[in-house]
Amino acid sequence: MFFPLTHDDPSRVGGYRPVARLGGGGMGTVYLARAADGRTVALKTMHARLAADPVFRSRFRLETDAARIIGPVHGARVLDADPAADIPWLATEYVLGPGLDQAVSAHGAFPEPTVRALGALLCAALVQLHRSDVVHRDLKPSNIMLTVDGPKVIDFGIARADGDEHLTRAGAAAGTPAFMSPEQATGQEHTASGDVFALAGLLTYAATGHGPFGAGQPADLLYRVRYAEPDLTGVPPALVPVLARALGKDPADRPSAADLAAWLEPPGGGFSEHLPGTVLTDIARRAAVVFAEMPRRTAPDDGEGLPDTVVRTAAGPSRRGVLAAGGASLLALAGTGAWAWHDRQRPGGPGGSTAPRTSAADMLWQVPSDSGSGRDLPSAPLMLEDRILVALESLMPQALDPRTGRSLWSDEDVFLFHQMATDGKRVYAVDYSLEDDAPYVVRAVDPATGKADATVARLTDLRGRLFESQLLCATDTVLLGVGGTGRRSTDGFRKDQTWFLFALDPRTGDRLWTRALPTRPDGAKRLHFLSGRVEGDHLVLVQQAEDGGLSLTVHEARTGTPLWDTPLDGDGPALDRAGVAVDAQHVYLAADGLVARRLADGVVAWHHEGDRPGTVHGPPAVKNGVVHAAVKGQGLVAVRAGSGRTVWAQTGRADMEADAPPTVGTAYVYGESATGLAAADLRTGAVAQPLKAARGRYFVHGPSGRLIARGEAYTAGYPLL
């Protein structure tokens, strides 16, 4: 999957000409590029703002060294690199093939012979690394690329020399929770044995489609990694004892990479002989696309006018045809992510009808940013008329032009993103630059420059420089915040702190009311609230317990008087900032179907159940009197907000997921599926052309005509259809 170059991407790096973007991560951008001799390469550059930091330069240099160590058999051949350049860069051969995560998601779990062959070759890759005293530290499905010659290990961005801790800053998270080793999850040294643990988790995923410790919030995953037994349900019986041993909690009980390779008893023959035919077809399709890719670049001031490109291929080639293409080695390096889209006709709405096919929408721009997932921080952007605010990797705010992704300003000193709120015109923030014992000061921020304009309120009974403070929402008359007292901590809450929910009048700075909040234990990381919203005279909050449980609480906005509350099902990140679906009459929830509760008293107004037993509805969204939701394995559904009556309902979409609310645009509603971002006609539910979209959460910015995507480490813009 390729994305257009932005107007300020380099035209040449070293001897290479960028052709398209492959993706971006926390440390840099990865390009599809071509050498002077026409060779296609993957070109990684470091973000300019990180290049001045010696720690990040050291990481980049070690990443380059590790890529050379693993070599062209188990990784991508390093063609050239300059870690000492003003903007460090690395060029490798481009690996042809999907990531393991993409392959399993699109084609299903692998048969036992494939898992054995995959595991043995990855063990050989680890042996190569470990002999040179390098540990990878982030083995996961998206860091394994599948080619006809064998799997390739990529992304050495957090690799390090065995026993060398100096590249991990205090408090920094390294690795991916679902595939961390127990010692890594507890902040201890991750050695070669930790890589073996991660590899066993990766092979569990390949064999079953799920990791050994499930999914969910990072804190939950880390707990399971440390204390729970691995879930090996679905693993072929002969592999269970092998993987269970490698997933042992004690590093001393695990086999070495060489021993694990022997235990796997791989089948004979070449790797391609054991790949499913659909995966081979996928590899061939990618080959056809990459060599035809031509440079495209967004305009400086507007992303409109991009070529309307949909790649269509004939029937998939045979296994013989794929193998005849040879082992073209191509790499999508370091954090390119799981970009997925589908261009096939899909079942339509009622009656299987299909809408006229709209043109597929390419990503217009992409910038690195932080999702907040490491501490369950809000990731949804703050929307203003002509700009959006997102979090940098430092959790400081950055303002972007939603049309082009151009950075308008960023703040590295004064504010934290989760301590900011906007009413769409004005921006408010807690001043985080004061001394530790300073009071809680709320500033008005100039949206044009990011500079503090004036002091809105000075709350002398609350401590200002507490990381866990929040601003939740703002209107013309109410500014809602969370503040505390007690000593500052650099590692979560302290049990001797006292916390409060309060409301201010932003016009005068007067405090309207204050209510006490539950005490958090030492080291707790979850913030008190995921979202807050004022709807008329009511305040609607999504409150988060330390154990991850969620509840909906409704208060009288001007007095803070609690009116009613109810437990919530669902995933925290899907409910941040935007919160639950609310209009002037109801709050709409997913609870054994869709439920509308009266905003005033919480009484159930209607309950819309699915057509089949066990139907799973995702969190809903409401707009213009219609409630939309995803139904897992079926499609999108639309019901009347006033009555719960069905307007339309899709069926037959087995790939539809139900983890996040749909995104409602001007003509289409968008829902996330296993293969991309599905689009449906707002009026009829008929299927429209899906977006060529990266996985993530999506938000509409109406004034710019953009669909804003927030992924694990990026923000991106698409045209709003």
Going from N- to C-terminal start, the domains of the chain cover 94-162+173-290
Phi and psi, residue 237, nearest 5° = -50, -40
CATH architecture group of domain 94-162+173-290: Orthogonal Bundle (1.10)
Rounded to whole angstroms, the Cα distance separating 395 from 419 reads: 10
Low-confidence residues of the chain: pLDDT under 50: 158-173, 301-361, 372-374, 573
> Partners of 439 in the beta sheet?
463
Quick check: 199 and 257 in contact, CB under 8 A? yes
Q: Strands of 66-184 (E only): list them.
A: 78-82, 89-93, 134-135, 144-147, 150-153, 160-161
pLDDT at 714: 76
User: 274-333 pLDDT, tens per residue?
Assistant: 999 999 988 887 776 665 556 666 555 443 333 332 222 233 444 434 443 333 332 232
Helix axes 112-131, 257-264, angle to 10 degrees: 160
Give how far the C-alpha of residue 629 lies from the chain's centroid of Cα atoms, to the nearest Å: 20
Quick check: 171 and 490 in contact, CB under 8 A? yes
| Residue 63: closest CA among 47, 50, 49, 46 | 46
Helix axes 192-208, 112-131, angle to 10 degrees: 160
pLDDT at 579: 60
Rounded to whole angstroms, the Cα distance separating 349 from 328 reads: 41
User: 223-247 pLDDT, tens per residue?
Assistant: 889 999 999 999 999 999 999 999 9
Phi and psi, residue 567, nearest 5° = -65, 155
Tally of residues, the chain? 721
Q: Which two tokens stand for residue 648?
A: 């339309």
* pTM exceeds 0.75, yes or no: no
pLDDT at 352: 37
Provide the H-helix boundaries in 465-580.
Answer: none
pLDDT at 333: 26
Quick check: 464 and 438 in contact, CB under 8 A? yes
> Partners of 80 in the beta sheet?
91
Rounded to whole angstroms, the Cα distance separating 683 from 547 reads: 41
